[in-house]
């Protein structure tokens, strides 16, 4: 499928739940076929032998109207028979995979083992759900967020996010594999040729951070700074969802729209903030953003 | 767990459904703790990234009283949500894995990836189901039945058995990996030290064949010939289940209790045949078996 890049194209850098909900709103206003989503894959994990791509699936399931509205992840009306059996054996079941959701991971794992790349498999899954938007993983290469927890050392992202429920102090975050990764086909073109580039309201550190860490992506966004808009995931000093506020603070950033403005200033000309943060507008503008 | 080998021990070489049903009867007559089962692993398959051991699971589920009584494989009361989703994507779903059953394969795959051997994982699964008997895979090493189909070439066992429903002409069967495999700990001791060795009513070619192909096993059984009994899987010229009769014929054997007697004559002193085959008793005895 050839990508037509013109002013009608909106390219969105997206993490998981926050981005998915933003996209669900966007496609009410903008033709889905003219939305190109660059998805985060640094949360991907091989769980019990299956390749799971949590952020890509959250975007797909949400746009398909199939997401579990209570959790924001996983499928609505899900059953948990496989997990119950896993627990019967005393297996690790903190990373919950519903029965229907397992079908997605079985499919992805099969196709990858056949030699298909992640972008191809992601497109096949998105097509089956008929989501309309083009969803592309930022890279087909291995990219893994690694989190250094105080007193514990470095652990995987899902160990931090799900098993520890992001309730442990973080000293550092790095994106293993980033240096040697390359952007998936079309990603740089979609940023360069879009009418607008949007950084979705996702965690700047662990959702948008790995996307920007893939060589070439950050430069491509910077080159489009005047057409790039970020939507703040922080409202009134707190994350809309997840540990963004806590992570920003622990890693030396201000957990506010001003802190987000400082992080994104080299990349974006406009930061969309909530009315609750209207009083911070001048401070955001002082960082060089509208 | 140390294995006590004495006259009370019965060691059974076992395939899938036929063996499982035989074992369910045996443990009504003999203490389960004194039954040692050497299981076939040459049907094992990696399906969608998961390690599936069909024969081991059929024995476990049957002895646990959890088997689907209609099919003879899989779990009773199973649901199929993961397979339905896999089919939604157009994925290969001819090898049916139920949702609860998937939990077993997720557990096995995890444990193997952690470095546990198949014998350890099999014991853990059997323990969770509290089946009583000791179930041990014939080998921890890779062992794969390969079937040469006329006009098609060599395919995997599950492709032959499930996908083609064993309805294609077979020219040859071989057990890939057998030469370099070694028996799992305890297998040879359990054959050498048992009061009786039993070859279950399983397919002689593709269920018992690979067990005997693991170096040392055939010799160990031959050394116990006088204490070894085979139960014929062929009654009145037809397989109790599956393609044993057809396979015997295609590979140049007689599809009858006499053909089974000829195959097993070097290994067993006694062949248990059905009353329907009483007229063949003399012909069986002519092969040197009781």
- Crossing angle of helices B54-63 and B17-29, in 10° steps, is 30
Decide if B107 and A101 are in contact by the 8 Å CB cutoff.
Answer: no
Q: What are B196's strand-pairing partners?
A: B10
Which of A107, A111, A114, A120 best probes binding to B when mutated, by most B CB atoms within 10 angstroms?
A107
The pLDDT of residue B1: 60
Q: Searching chain B, which residue's CA lies closest to the CA of residue A108?
A: B48
Interface of B with A in 251-290 (CB under 8 A): none
Kindly state whether B51 is in contact with chain A, defined as any CB-CB distance less than 8 angstroms: yes
Kindly state whether A121 is in contact with chain B, defined as any CB-CB distance less than 8 angstroms: no
Q: What average pLDDT does chain A have?
A: 95
Considering only CB atoms, B103 lies closest to which of A86, A101, A106, namely: A86
Question: How far off is chain A from B180, nearest CA to CA, in Å?
Answer: 26
Task: Tell me the per-residue pLDDT of A2-45, one tens digit each, with 9 for 90 and over.
Answer: 778 889 999 999 999 999 999 999 999 999 999 999 999 999 99
The pLDDT of residue B196: 97
Question: How far is residue B111 from each of residues A37, A102, A122, A163, B119, measured CA to CA in Å?
Answer: 36, 18, 28, 19, 11
Is there a contact between B253 and B206 (Cβ–Cβ < 8 Å)? no
- What span, in angstroms and rounded, lies between the C-alpha atoms of B21 and B231? 12
CATH superfamily of the A10-286 domain = CofD-like domains (3.40.50.10680)
Q: What are B121's strand-pairing partners?
A: none
Residue B263 Rama label (left phi>0; alpha psi -120 to 50; beta): alpha
Residue contacts between A and B (CB atoms, under 8 Å): 116
Decide if A84 and B104 are in contact by the 8 Å CB cutoff.
Answer: no
Answer positive or negative: Cα dihedral of A23, A28, A29, A33.
positive
Question: How far is residue B243 from each of residues A290, B26, B144, B168, B201, measured CA to CA in Å?
Answer: 74, 24, 18, 10, 13
Query: Using a CB-CB distance cutoff of 8 angstroms, which residues of chain B are in contact with residue A85?
Result: 100-104, 106-107
Burial (CB < 10 A; 0-12, 13-18, 19+), residue B25, is exposed
What is the DSSP-derived secondary structure letter of residue B33?
G
Residues 6+ apart with CB under 8 A from A154: A146, A147, A148
- What span, in angstroms and rounded, lies between the C-alpha atoms of A251 and B74? 50
Beta strands A134-137; A35-39: pairing state: parallel
Burial (CB < 10 A; 0-12, 13-18, 19+), residue B154, is middle
Is there a contact between A200 and A269 (Cβ–Cβ < 8 Å)? no
Considering only CB atoms, B85 lies closest to which of A87, A103, A124, namely: A103
Considering only CB atoms, B110 lies closest to which of A81, A88, A92, namely: A92
- What span, in angstroms and rounded, lies between the C-alpha atoms of B50 and B63? 23
The pLDDT of residue B126: 98
Per-10-residue mean pLDDT of chain B, 290 residues long, equals 84 97 96 97 96 98 96 94 97 92 98 97 98 98 96 93 91 97 98 97 96 98 97 90 90 93 95 94 93
Considering only CB atoms, A49 lies closest to which of B92, B103, B110, namely: B110
Is there a contact between A141 and A182 (Cβ–Cβ < 8 Å)? yes
**What ipTM goes with this model?**
0.91
Task: Tell me the per-residue pLDDT of A54-102, one tens digit each, with 9 for 90 and over.
Answer: 999 999 999 999 999 998 899 999 999 999 999 999 998 888 999 999 9
Task: Return the structure tokens found at B251.
Answer: 């590979």
Question: How far off is chain A from B145, nearest CA to CA, in Å?
Answer: 21
Q: What is the mean pLDDT of residues A253-266?
A: 94
Q: What is the mean pLDDT of residues A186-197?
A: 97
H or E element: which one contains B56?
helix B54-63
CA atoms within 13 A on the CB side of B174: 9
Decide if A84 and B107 are in contact by the 8 Å CB cutoff.
Answer: no
**Angle B106-A144-A122 from CA coordinates, rounded to 5°:** 70
Write out chain A in H/E/C secondary structure: CCCCCCCCCEEEEECCHHHHHHHHHHHHHCCHHHEEEEECCCCCEEECCEEECHHHHHHHHHHCCCECCCCCCCECCCCCHHHHHHHHCCCCCCCCCCHHHHHHHHHHHHHHHCCCCHHHHHHHHHHHHCCCCEEEECECCCCEEEEEECCCEEEEHHHHHHHCCCCCCEEEEEEECCCCCCECCCHHHHHHHCCEEEECCCCHHHHHHHHHHCCCHHHHHHHCHHHEEEECCEECCEECCCCHHHHHHHCCCCCCHHHHHHHHCCCCCEEECCHHHHHHHHHHHHCCCC
- What span, in angstroms and rounded, lies between the C-alpha atoms of A90 and B124? 9
Considering only CB atoms, A89 lies closest to which of B48, B102, B107, namely: B107
- Residue given tokens 């899989």 in the structure block: B74
Kindly state whether B103 is in contact with chain A, defined as any CB-CB distance less than 8 angstroms: yes
Considering only CB atoms, B81 lies closest to which of A48, A90, A103, namely: A103
Which of A45, A82, A123, A131 best probes binding to B when mutated, by most B CB atoms within 10 angstroms?
A82
What is the DSSP-derived secondary structure letter of residue B137?
E
Question: How far off is chain A from B6, nearest CA to CA, in Å?
Answer: 31
Considering only CB atoms, B48 lies closest to which of A79, A100, A106, namely: A106
Task: Return the structure tokens found at B53.
Answer: 């051991």
pTM as predicted: 0.93
φ and ψ at residue A231, rounded to 5 degrees: -105, 120
Q: What residues does each domain of chain A span?
A: 10-286
The pLDDT of residue A280: 93
Kindly state whether B154 is in contact with chain A, defined as any CB-CB distance less than 8 angstroms: no
Is there a contact between A215 and A185 (Cβ–Cβ < 8 Å)? no
Decide if A82 and B90 are in contact by the 8 Å CB cutoff.
Answer: no
Is there a contact between A105 and A51 (Cβ–Cβ < 8 Å)? yes
Interface of A with B in 63-102 (CB under 8 A): 79, 81-92, 98-102
Q: Searching chain B, which residue's CA lies closest to the CA of residue A51?
A: B49
DSSP-derived 3-state class of residue B10: strand
**Angle A270-A13-A123 from CA coordinates, rounded to 5°:** 150
């Amino acid at each position: 499928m050839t990508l037509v890049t013109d002013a009608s194209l909106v390219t969105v850098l997206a993490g998981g739940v926050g981005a998915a909900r933003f996209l669900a709103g966007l496609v009410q206003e903008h033709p889905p076929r003219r939305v190109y989503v660059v998805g985060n894959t640094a949360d991907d994990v091989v769980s019990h032998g299956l390749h799971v791509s949590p952020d890509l699936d959250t975007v797909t399931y949400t746009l398909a109207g199939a997401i579990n509205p209570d959790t924001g992840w996983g499928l609505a009306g899900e059953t948990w028979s496989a997990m119950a059996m896993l627990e019967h054996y005393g297996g690790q079941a903190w990373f919950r995979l519903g029965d229907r959701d397992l079908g997605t991971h079985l499919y992805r794992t099969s196709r990858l083992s056949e030699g298909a790349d992640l972008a191809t498999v992601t497109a096949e899954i998105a097509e089956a759900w008929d989501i309309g938007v083009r969803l592309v993983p930022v890279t087909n290469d291995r990219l893994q967020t690694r989190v250094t927890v105080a007193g514990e050392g470095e652990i995987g992202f899902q160990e931090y996010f799900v098993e520890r429920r992001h309730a442990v102090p973080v000293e550092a975050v790095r994106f293993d594999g980033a240096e040697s990764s390359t952007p998936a086909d079309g990603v740089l073109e979609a940023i360069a040729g879009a009418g607008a580039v949007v950084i979705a309201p996702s965690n700047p550190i662990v959702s948008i951070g790995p996307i920007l860490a893939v060589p070439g992506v950050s430069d491509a966004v910077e080159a489009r700074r005047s057409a790039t808009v970020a939507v703040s995931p922080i409202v009134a000093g707190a994350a809309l969802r997840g540990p963004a506020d806590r992570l920003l603070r622990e890693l030396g950033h201000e957990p506010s729209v001003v802190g987000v403005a400082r992080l994104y200033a080299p990349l974006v000309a406009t930061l969309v903030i909530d009315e609750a943060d209207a009083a911070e507008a001048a401070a955001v503008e002082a960082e060089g953003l509208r």
